[in-house]
Amino acid sequence: MSQADNDIKTRILLSARKLFAKQGFEGTTVRQICEDAGANVALVSYHFGGKEKVFEAIFQHFFSGNMISELEDQLSDPVVGLRTIIEETVNFSCVYDKELSFIIQQEMTMNSSRKAIVNKYLNPVWTKVKELLQKGKDQGIFHFDSLSYTLLMVMGVALAHKREYNYDAIIGESDMNPLEIADQTVAFIFKGLGVQMS
């Protein structure tokens, strides 16, 4: 594939990610994506095979959880591994890729037909968290009763910042710094697991 083909594919993916985040998958047309990308409408079919395939290609191209296999050494230690995944999860949605994070949230909330695509990418990350929690408990590092409840709570805390805008009336003027959310989240989770942080 030529550099020009790669460039246009990337432009289409960037435009689709932006528009899906802003307007939703159903509210975005192939024509809008191509107009934004400066591409011929036929190129979506040629390069991807349609809008649904563009949706999955966005995850293949941009989802940071795809690197989990590359971090295997780092993820073997329960404390280091859990810290790494939580930090990456929070930073992904707060700093690195708010658009893709918003797409994930939309699709999961709507329980859309694309939820299976989203879960294909999310499940390996949360499965690794589950493994790390169990390994940490087996080693006497993490302290909890139910693995299922603990996993749900870790997931909830790791994703809680994404719902801040729903609670403006309660939270009021937010003092949250996106660059500190990951550290605060890790500290909160580890306290809940009975781990003394240094």
Read off φ and ψ for residue 123, nearest 5 degrees.
-55, -40
pLDDT tens profile 69-120: 777 778 899 999 999 999 999 988 877 888 999 999 999 999 999 999 999 9
pLDDT tens profile 128-155: 999 999 999 999 999 999 999 999 999 9
Percentage of the residues of the chain whose pLDDT score is greater than 90: 69
Query: pLDDT value at position 139?
Result: 97
Query: pLDDT value at position 171?
Result: 66
Residue 158 half-sphere exposure toward CB, CA atoms < 13 A: 23
pLDDT tens profile 157-197: 998 877 665 566 666 666 767 778 899 999 999 999 999 77
- Residues with Cβ within 8 Å of 164's Cβ and at least 6 positions away in sequence, in order, are 171, 174, 176
pTM: 0.85
| Residue 83: closest CA among 95, 74, 73 | 74
Cβ contact 71:155 at 8 Å: no
Q: Mind listing the domains of the chain with CATH numbers?
A: 3-58 (1.10.10.60), 63-192 (1.10.357.10)
Residue 117 carries which DSSP code?
H
Query: pLDDT value at position 198?
Result: 62
Instruction: Please state, in angstroms and rounded to a whole number, the distance separating the CA atoms of residues 168 and 130.
Output: 32
Longest CA pairwise span in the chain (Å): 58
